[in-house]
Amino acid sequence: MLFTSFKNHWARQTSQPMPNTDPALDLEFLDWGLIDYEIALEKQLELVQKLQTYPENKSGYLVFCSHPEVVTTGRQTKPEDIFSWSGKVIEISRGGRATYHGPSQIVIYPILNLKNPRKHRGPQEIRGYIRDLEAALIRTLKHFDISAEGRSLQQKPNNQDLAEETGVWVHNRKVASIGIAVKKWICFHGVALNLEQDPKAFLGLNPCGFKSSTMISVEEILGQKPDLQKFKNILKTHLIEIL
């Protein structure tokens, strides 16, 4: 299988906290490796509860992980989003429509108290927080000479309604999807970035309402597999800078 080595690499990752390089941020970094989606969601909710119970003790958490193949449906999912996907489907509380998660991705779950102002962003700015996530991904991709853009609340051509085309795009191809949930101003869920090429990803569905051919991976853009640990380190650095 094309992604056996990638899965094995994720499986070898430990769930120990990664070093916090900036104590002033008071963010705890966790790498959960390859983890079932349901287990990761349960662990996210546990961290959300901790922030709600003891908000004065910590600004939040930043989680990196990956999931076995699964499709999740957000609050805006439409019947036509899933038409021939034969794998597991999980309904969740995040925003957005149906999308795919798999071991070829890096999934990022920032769990933060949005009441706390951070960096240049004031408190309780959900849209600003989404743009911050896009900006961190854009800076990371730029390090690999990939020019990308965020599309928070873009206007669709010939449509008077605003469409929440969140995520990060390289020209007309989408390389990362964003879907968050907020519970008493604690955000969770987050970002799925397509790192390696996966011919089975997004088959049988319209991810985020787009054709599956809209999705692209970093590997496809570069023409070679990126180094996983290097990519994660650079991504972590830019998330620290912005969040």
List the catalytic residues.
208
SS (H, E, C) the chain: CCCHHHHHHHHCCCCCEECCCCHHHCEEEEEEEECCHHHHHHHHHHHHHHHHHCCCCCCEEEEEEECCCEEEECCCCCHHHECCCCCCEEECCCCCCCEEECCCEEEEEEEEECCCCECCECCCCHHHHHHHHHHHHHHHHHHCCCCCEECCCEECCCCCCEECCCCEEECCEEEEEEEEEEECCEEEEEEEEECCCCCCCCCCECHHHCCHHHECCHHHHHCCCCCHHHHHHHHHHHHHHHC
Q: What type of residue sits at position 176?
A: A
